[in-house]
Structure formats: C-alpha cells, structure tokens
Amino acid sequence: MAMIRLEALGRTFEVGGQQVRALDQVDLTIEAGEYLSIMGPSGSGKSTLLNVLGLLDTPSVGAYWLDGVNTSTMGDDQLAATRQAQIGFVFQSFHLVPRMTAAENVELPMLLAGIGGAERRERAHRSLAGVGLADRADHRPAQLSGGERQRVAIARAIVMQPRLLLADEPTGNLDTGSGAEIVRIMETLNERGLTLIVVTHDLQIGERARRRLRLRDGRVVEDLRAAQA
Amino acid sequence: MNGRELVRFATHSALSHRLRSVLTALGIGIGVTAVVLLTSMGEGLHRYVLEQFTQFGTNIIGINPGRSTTFGASTGIFGSVRPLTIDDAEALKRVPFVLNTVPVVQGTASVEGGGRERSTNISGVGPEFQTAFDFRVALGTFLPADDPRAPRPLAVLGAKMRHELYGERSPLGELLRVGGERYRVIGVMEPKGQVLGFDLDDTVYIPAARALELYNRQGLFEIDVLYDKAVPADEVVAGIERMIIARHGGLDVTITTQQQMLDVLGSVLDIVTFAVAALGGISLLVGGVGIFTIMTIAVRERTAEIGLLRAIGAGRAQIRAIFLGESILLAGIGGAGGLLVGGLTVVLLGVAVPALPVGIALPYVVAAEAVAVLIGLAAGVVPAQRAAALDPVEALRAE
Ligand SMILES: Nc1ncnc2c1ncn2[C@@H]1O[C@H](COP(=O)(O)OP(=O)(O)OP(=O)(O)O)[C@@H](O)[C@H]1O
Ligand SMILES: [Mg+2]
C-alpha cells in the first residue's frame, strides 16, 4: 500500500468572485521512504500541494489517502493528531518562536503532545545533537545564524519521529553553503527511512532527489525518476 | 499540555512583553485595590456603627410611647396614647424573663455647682440604669433604690461634668442645682465616651421621677427592658405586650428589640458596602477591557506562531487554552497584586490612623480576586476563540 495517494485532487481558491485553481486534477502516488522534489514556476501550486499533503489544507475536490485512510473523513482534531505523530514541517522562514531557546523550540511538539518534562529535554537534546547543535541548545533564534536556525527547525520537525518530512523552500533564505548543509541533513534522514518531499526553486537541489515533480498551473506536468544510484 | 505547563507557557509569553503585561495586569490590580480599599472602609463603618449599638449588650428591648410602624413618627390617631409611667416601668419588672427595667427621661437643663454654671444633658433614670448598661461608678455610688415615685434629690455626675464643675476636687456631698432644684452629689461615673453623638460623660444623672417634674412631663421617653439572654426576644415582647394592654387598655407603645435595630442597620450598611464594591467593580471592568485589547493584539502579533503550533500538532482546543490561560494569568496576577497593595494599605491605614474605622471585608476580597479571574476569562474568550479559528495555512503566511 502506498503511503500517499492523491486522486483527481483539486484545490480552488476564490479571489474576488474569481476561481483560482491552485491544484487541478492531480494524481500522485508516493511510497514510504521516497525522496521527492517539487519544482515549477511561482504560483504553480507547489506550496498548496505541500500544505495539502501536510494536512494543513484540505482539497476542494478529489481524494487524499494517507496510509490507506481517506483524509476527508478526519475531523480537525484527528488531522492535528496525525500532523503531530506523522508529519514534520520545515519552512523557508524557519518559524521558530523567538522568545524560546533552541531547546525549547524543539520541545514544543512534545509539549503539545503531553510528553513529560524529563523525556522532552532528553529527546530535544538528542535531536539537536543530531543536527550538530548540541552546544547551541540555550541560544535564542536571534543569536543563531540562518543555517543554524533551519537546523533547529529540522530538529523540531523530526523530534516526534515522523514518517513524512515536508520542506517548503528550506534553503530559500540561506546562502549556498548552509543550504547545502541543510539538504545534506535532510538526505541523511531520508536514508534512514524518512519520506522526504522538498519544494525548491534551486535546480541543483531539486536534481538531487531521486524523483522530481514539475508543476505548472496546478497540474503535474513532469514526474521523473532518476535511475537508482 | 497539563495545567502547570500551560501556566509556564503563558508566563513565558507574558514575560516576553514585560512592560505591556505589567501595565495590563496593573489595570486589574487597580480595580482590585479599589474594591479592597472601598469595601474595607464600608466594612469599617459597619463595624463601628454596630459596635456603638451593641456595647450595652443585645438583650435590651426599648419601649416608646405611641404606636409607630417602623422608625417613623408615632401615630396616636387611633384612640388616646397613654403616657408611659414609672408605674409601668415597675409593673414591667414582673413580666416573665425580664431582669430589669430602666425608665428614661432626657433633656437639657442649666446646672450650678462648685461655683460654676453649665447647660448640660440631664438623664432621668432608675437606679437599675447602672447595672443594666454595665456603666461603672468611679467615685461614690449610683442613685439608690428609693421609692421610685418619690426619690430623694440625689445626683450622679458624668466624668466630664465633674471636671468642668469641680476639677480634681471630690464632688461627693456637694450641693448641685439642676433647673433651680437642689440635689446632693453622691457619685461620679467612669468615662464612657459618646454613643452615636450623645455624650454620656457630659451628663448629670438624676432619678426619673424628678426629671419628669423638672420638665413638667406626664410620661417617660422610654423604658428599657433588660431580659434573660437565654430566652427568645419574641417571648419577652409578647409578655410586655400583654402587660401594656392590661394596663393601658390597648397596645399604645412601640416595642423595638435590639435585634430589630441591628437588622435594619445591618442591611443599610450592607447596601453601603455593596455600593462601594460595585464602584470598585467598575474599575475592574475597565481592567478587563485592557486585557481584551492586549489579548486581541497578542493574537494578531502571534498569528504565525499559532500557525506553527497548529502545524506541529496543536488542536483548536489547545490554541484556545493557551490564549485563555494567558488572559487569566494576567488578570489573576494583577488581582493578586491588587489584593496585596490594597490589603497592605488597609493595614497601614489602621496603624497610622487608628481612629479611622477600616476592616478588611474578607468575602469581598475573595470575591474581587474571583471576579478578576472571571474577567480575565471573559476578556480572553473572544481573542482565544479567534486564535483557535485561524486557518493554519493563512496563519503561517502571516509575518
Ligand atoms: N489563500 C489563498 N487565497 C487565494 N489564492 C491563493 C491562496 N493560496 C494560494 N493561492 C493561489 O494559488 C496559486 C498557487 O499558489 P502557491 O502558493 O501554491 O504557489 P507556489 O508554487 O508555492 O509559488 P511560489 O513558488 O511563489 O511559492 C497561486 O496563484 C496563488 O495566488
Ligand atoms: Mg510557495
């Protein structure tokens, strides 16, 4: 059974009485453990697709099966619970809470999940160590470089041990060096079995993925699979 | 997230805007301080007045001539009103459970003694007055148990009166003229102070029958009946009524128990305290508006954070709880600060100005804190609801 299956999925927005088709007739199957990049011009629906996959947004038409469950049957709380347990997000603008230290930011998902303080601290520390930031645990976001902030965000995204990691232009605000570092960290996670989907404008980064999706006007216009290395 | 973690989270975010949070909490704090201070003064007044009334004990019944409904003017329209006499006072002593009766005639007269002259209060009373009201003699004795209809011309001086006329000298045995009549001084009372504006020390006590003569009156002002504490007032009142009807042919007097007086006074004073509490409550309300404003701003500022929390697994209920928690925290801390400041002020006032009647009205203090927390809750509901209703994608885009 495929981890993700989209069937004739569409997402329309209404802007000033006008229908905007952000996603149109998308059919897509993604297996667990895949490494997928999504590229395409601005406004082609990349972020919308990622939000739908991440259960932050719901399709207007069509169906989305996640692990064999039709997500349209899930209520708001169940969607939140599924995001919590299965899905990690990495955003272009990091989305760290500025008043909290790196460790506290990483603890946040566990705090919401009701995990006890001692275990939270232990797991946050391990997660931060995993992205090479063990010594920055007590720094606030403002005291960290862009690359370091994104690494904290990755540590937060994986601390609940999700099966799916969604990254929307994770290197968009970073220089080439730290961008490459972020990609390398995410690829390592993928090698350990995490399903990885990266939206990017950067061709070099996009071409590293084993499977490359190209969108235009809300449709999938290209779905390339690189030969197994 | 459990309760403690929620409080920590709320504290954390409140502390990230220290000045703003302090000012917001201050709004509630001032409201609570106002409630504490105002109700303390109300309560102080309450206690002061009641103390004045109860210092002679609560097992006293007053009988006044004329029938009146409450405290209004007496209405002698239906049938004639017989005067209350000294014989009535004597007869009432035979009513069951009555310990003592005191006839009272009051007025002013010119008093001459020790070579000086004063115009002062005259209290015509019975010999039982002293024991009934627990009023001690400092020098000599109180009025003796003479024939109540023809007592000897003896007088007892209030403490102030004695000083004014005789200074430090002992006035015992001295002659005193009261309204032209000659009296002999046989005692001086201990100082007692004022009771509701009537200075007991600036008074000359003479036998009631003589005061009646002095003022050329038919009847007494009042008969005070002291009864056995262990017996319900109603029972004693019934006995008094029977006696009066038997003697006067009808109930032409007004009988007021101390308890009735206290009840009426108490309810008036309760209204005063409630009114000042309501005044303080208005400032609490203003504080609530402050919290509402700040929470609305906070939700707007932290929209991206709300989106993030939703993305990493927060349900709507959790978002609501986070913002409600913060709003209650601000109000609760403000309220606690207000209690502290208000309470300290009351205590300091009590120490600095002992004459000022203040007393902490505990039920109002507890209510003020509870209301503060409730206001926090109420002020937070709309912003928290707004935060919970945000669309995660929209929220994440805000920055
Ligand atoms: N909330 C919304 N309301 C109205 N229109 C929207 C909304 N979100 C997206 N759209 C529209 O949907 C289309 C796809 O948007 P989307 O953000 O998915 O594009 P994108 O491929 O991520 O673009 P970019 O590369 O610039 O990030 C765009 O035309 C956009 O204007
Ligand atoms: Mg986008």
Query: Does the pLDDT of residue A133 top 80, yes or no?
Result: yes
Interatomic CA distance for residues A88 and B213, integer angstroms? 104
Q: Note the pTM of the prediction, 2 decimals.
A: 0.74
> Tens digits of per-residue pLDDT, A194-218?
999 999 999 999 999 999 999 999 9
Nearest residue of B to residue A160, measured between CA atoms = B312
Give mean pLDDT, residues B167-186: 92
Tell me, yes or no, whether B256 lies in a domain.
no
Q: Which residues of B touch A156 (CB under 8 A)?
A: 312
b/e burial code for range B20-57 (CB count within 10 A of at least 16 → b):
ebbebbbbbbbbbbbbbbbbbbbbbbbebbeeebeebe
Residue A206 lies in a domain: yes
CA–CA separation, B208 and B95 (whole Å)? 21
CA distance linking residue A146 with residue B138, whole number of Å = 91
* Residue B80: predicted pLDDT: 65
> Between residues A41 and B168, which one has the greater pLDDT?
A41
* B73 assigned to some structural domain: no
**Domain count of the fold of chain A:** 1
CA B250 – CA B264 distance, rounded (Å): 27
**pLDDT above 80 for A228:** no
User: Is A130 part of any domain?
Assistant: no
Q: What letters, b where the CB count within 10 A reaches 16 and e where it falls short, cover A200-210?
A: bebeebbebbb
Q: Are strands A4-15 and A18-30 parallel, antiparallel or unpaired?
A: antiparallel
User: Domain of A49?
Assistant: 4-97+161-225
B307 to chain A, minimum CA–CA distance in Å?
A: 9
Q: How far is CA A10 from the centre of its chain?
A: 20
Rounded CA gap, A26 and A215, in Å? 10
Task: Check if B314 contacts A (Cβ < 8 Å).
Answer: yes
Residue A79 lies inside a defined structural domain of this protein: yes
Q: Is the CB of A45 under 6 A from ligand 1?
A: yes
Q: What is the ipTM of this complex?
A: 0.95
The rounded Cα B131 to chain-centroid distance in angstroms is 26
Tell me, yes or no, whether A106 lies in a domain. no
Indicate if the pLDDT at residue B366 is higher than 70. yes
Both B96 and B214 in one domain: the answer is yes
Least confidently predicted of A88-102, A161-175, B35-49, B125-139: B35-49
B87 pLDDT more than 70: yes
Specify if A154 maps to a domain: no
Q: Both B273 and B132 in a single domain?
A: no
Range of the domain at B357: 3-52+264-397
Q: Which of A11-15, A118-122, B13-17, B194-198 has the lowest mean pLDDT?
A: B194-198
Do B165 and B197 share a domain, yes or no? yes
DSSP string, A127-185: HHHHTT-GGGTT--GGGS-HHHHHHHHHHHHHTT--SEEEEESTTTTS-HHHHHHHHHH
Grouping H, G, I as helix, E, B as strand and the rest as coil, residue A219 is strand
If one compares B263 and B208, the residue with the highest pLDDT of the two is B208
Question: Is residue B71 pLDDT above 70, yes or no?
Answer: no
Please count the structural domains in chain B: 2
Looking at the partner chain, which of B1, B15, B304 has a beta carbon nearest the beta carbon of A112? B1
Cβ of A46 closer than 6 Å to ligand 1, yes or no, is: yes
Q: How far is the CA of A1 from the centre of ligand 2 (A)?
A: 29
Q: Based on the fold, state whether residues B130 and B245 are members of the same structural domain.
A: yes
Question: Residue B224's closest CA among B108, B99, B109?
Answer: B99
User: Over chain A, what is the mean pLDDT?
Assistant: 95
B18/A contact by beta carbon, under 8 A: no
Confidence of residue B314 (pLDDT cuts 50, 70, 90): very high
DSSP SS3 for B272? helix
Which residue, among B184, B212, B270, has the nearest Cα to B88 in the 3D structure? B212
* Contact by Cβ (8 Å): B44, B358: yes
CB B262 within 8 A of CB B58: yes
Q: Is 80 exceeded by the pLDDT of residue A152?
A: yes
Q: Any idea which of A139-143, B241-245, B359-363 has the lowest mean pLDDT? A: B359-363
Residue B76's pLDDT is 47
Strands in B71-115 per DSSP E: 98-113
Angle at B220 between CA B216 and CA B222, to 5 degrees: 150
| Ligand in closest contact with the CA of B398 | 1
Stretch (H or E) spanning B60: strand B60-65
Does B313 sit within 8 Å of A85, measured CB to CB?
yes
Q: Residue A29: which CATH number?
A: 3.40.50.300
